[in-house]
Structure 1
């Protein structure tokens, strides 16, 4: 190997190294996004399964409104009273 070949190899390796340095953050980001998408998809499937099982359970027994619903209904039925006086 003479000087010309050594310089060509050095130049090629330098260009490839710079290319890797430029592409690496993007590749890491793509892998991270795909992992997050997969986790969101799995969580959505679990939520759908839970909702389906809740629908099946709730259809077999009567439901009662929660305390929050009862409180909100009572608040809605009252008239709005303003304490501001001109």
Structure 2
């Protein structure tokens, strides 16, 4: 290999290294976003499945729920 070819190879590897350093954060962000999106879809699917299971139950709130709602509304009014 001649000196010119060695310099060209070194230059190309340097440019490639800089390109990788510039692109790497974007790729990591895309992978992270896809993972978060997948978790959100899974959570929504679980939530929809639990809603379907609970649809056979009565829709009247329990006494504890009614009491807690009343206490919350009183706190909002007084503040």
TM-score (norm 1): 0.72
Q: Distance in 1 between matches of 2:26 and 2:45?
A: 29
Bigger helix share: 2
Which portions of structure 1, spanning 4 or more consecutive aligned residues, are displaced by more than 6 angstroms? none
Q: Where do 5+ consecutive residues of structure 1 fail to align?
A: 81-86
TM-score (norm 2): 0.78
Alpha-carbon RMSD across the aligned residues, in angstroms, is 2.3
Aligned-pair distance for 1:65?
2.7
Aligned length: 72
* Larger Rg over CA atoms: 1
Q: Where do 5+ consecutive residues of structure 2 fail to align?
A: none
Q: Distance in 1 between matches of 2:13 and 2:61?
A: 70
